[in-house]
Amino acid sequence: MEKTEIKRQLILNEIADYLLASGMKDSSLRQLAAAIGTSDRMLLHYFSDKEELMSAALNLVATAKICWRDRRSNALSGFCPTLQA
């Protein structure tokens, strides 16, 4: 995995954690960036727009929930994304 993709994934994980803890209401790019200690310009460097960022973050949250649910029922023993909230 190249450096750019690693950084993108780190940002995505932090945004997903933030959304789980704080919700989506009034989540501007500036608010999201401030919450994870970066700038809105940096977010737009890794994601084409807010829609792409939010879609990817929500997809990560959904994937993690499904994975952990299935894992609890012993249907899945592989890797599950880690989210903090």
pLDDT tens track for 10-43? 999 999 999 988 988 878 999 999 999 999 999 9
Q: What is the pTM of this model?
A: 0.78
Residue 38 lies in a domain: yes
- The CATH code of the domain that includes 66 is 1.10.357.10
E strand or H helix at 20: helix 3-22
**In total, how many domains does the chain have?**
1
Residue 23 lies in a domain: yes
Residue 81 lies in a domain: no
d(CA 72, CA 54) in angstroms, rounded, equals: 27
E strand or H helix at 82: none
Residue 18 lies in a domain: yes
Number of neighbours of residue 45 by Cβ within 10 angstroms = 14
Residue 80 lies in a domain: no
Yes or no: say if 29 and 46 are a contact pair by the CB < 8 Å rule: no
Residue 68 belongs to domain spanning? 3-72
pLDDT of residue 47: 97
d(CA 6, CA 2) in angstroms, rounded, equals: 6
Residue 11 lies in a domain: yes
